[in-house]
Amino acid sequence: MSKIYYNTERGEGDSILISVVLGDDNREMCTNLTEVFSNQHDMELVATVDNGFSVLEAVDRHSPDVLVLDIIMPHLDGLGVLERMQDLDSPPKVIALSEFGEEAVLRQVMRLGASYCMLKPFNPQVLLERIRCFHASFDVFFEEDTPFNLAGQNESSLQQTISEMLREVGVPAHLRGYLYIRHAISMAVADPSALTGITKNMYPEIAIVFQTTPHRVERAIRHAITVAWQRNTTETVKRFFRQTILDRKGKPTNLEFIALMTDKLLLR
């Protein structure tokens, strides 16, 4: 598999501790993340704020390495924050958080300079790894001269792991959508930014591989998720999709399903 590049560069003034500003108006989540950050030896949460204007003030005051930014906030939303940071000489790396997987919004977030987008709910350990990744000096996330691997897995064992997860969550292997989802997760593992262009990039690429159309790919994935959702027990849903999906009392969208399964895979 070809090498994958992340758009990351480290400046001369990087400190030993990764300084982080958290901007989110969800008090419970901020409290939980504050505790998580306090247990990290290589990170320091220098400010937690609950609105966009306070985010800009915190960034100006602390010059953090990484900004964890919720897209939906009072007074000034995440997009507004990103727009106003365009003129900064040394802006922080931005990891954007969103409860909604609207592709147009995610594309705009990336265009405004975010390094990565995470869908809520997320595992805090995944967030920590993303922070380390985007603060690191490595330009190449996967080495050019080695086969793609995830926790020591080669491509074959990765596909096997994804297949096991899909069967566990109830996606029937005989459905075309099963194959499309498996390929989509592989793409997302190799390049997380692929999730920000699921309609314009991911579906067409899968369609080329399987000699079909992007519309049929989208429809087959949606059908496979529907079948899995109907077959699942509440316990299985809780384990894979967490409480937010349950609260909505509806199945996840294609993007949410692929993103959550990708994060689950990365934590294995």
Assess contact for 128 and 135: CB atoms under 8 A.
no
Alpha carbon distance 246, 259 (integer Å): 16
Report residue 104's pLDDT band, with 50, 70 and 90 as the boundaries.
confident
Using CB atoms within 10 A of its CB, is residue 25 exposed (0-12), middle (13-18) or buried (19+)?
middle
Domain assignments of the chain as residue spans, ordered by start: 4-140, 155-266
Q: What is the pTM of this model?
A: 0.54
Quick one: average pLDDT of 102-124?
Answer: 81
Domain range 4-140, its CATH number among 3.40.50.2300, 1.10.10.350, 3.40.50.12780, 1.20.1560.10: 3.40.50.2300
Assess contact for 252 and 232: CB atoms under 8 A.
no
Quick one: average pLDDT of 246-260?
Answer: 76
State how far the alpha carbon of 181 is from the alpha carbons of 50, 66, 152, 185, 257, in Å.
36, 31, 22, 6, 9
Q: Which helix (H) or strand (E) holds 21?
A: strand 18-23
Could you give the residue ranges of the DSSP H alpha helices within 63-102?
78-84
Report residue 126's pLDDT band, with 50, 70 and 90 as the boundaries.
confident
Q: Which helix (H) or strand (E) holds 126?
A: helix 124-135
Report residue 265's pLDDT band, with 50, 70 and 90 as the boundaries.
confident
pLDDT at 242: 56
| Cis preceding linkage at 204, omega within 30 | no
Specify the CATH class of 155-266 in words. mainly alpha
Would you state the structure tokens that stand for residue 61, as one six-digit string?
């005051």
pLDDT, the chain, mean: 79
Most confident of 29-33, 160-164, 165-169, 231-235: 29-33
b/e burial code for range 29-56 (CB count within 10 A of at least 16 → b): bbeebeeebeeeeebbbbbbbbbbebbb
pLDDT of 169 over the 70 cut: yes
Would you state the structure tokens that stand for residue 19, as one six-digit string?
């300084």
pLDDT at 192: 76
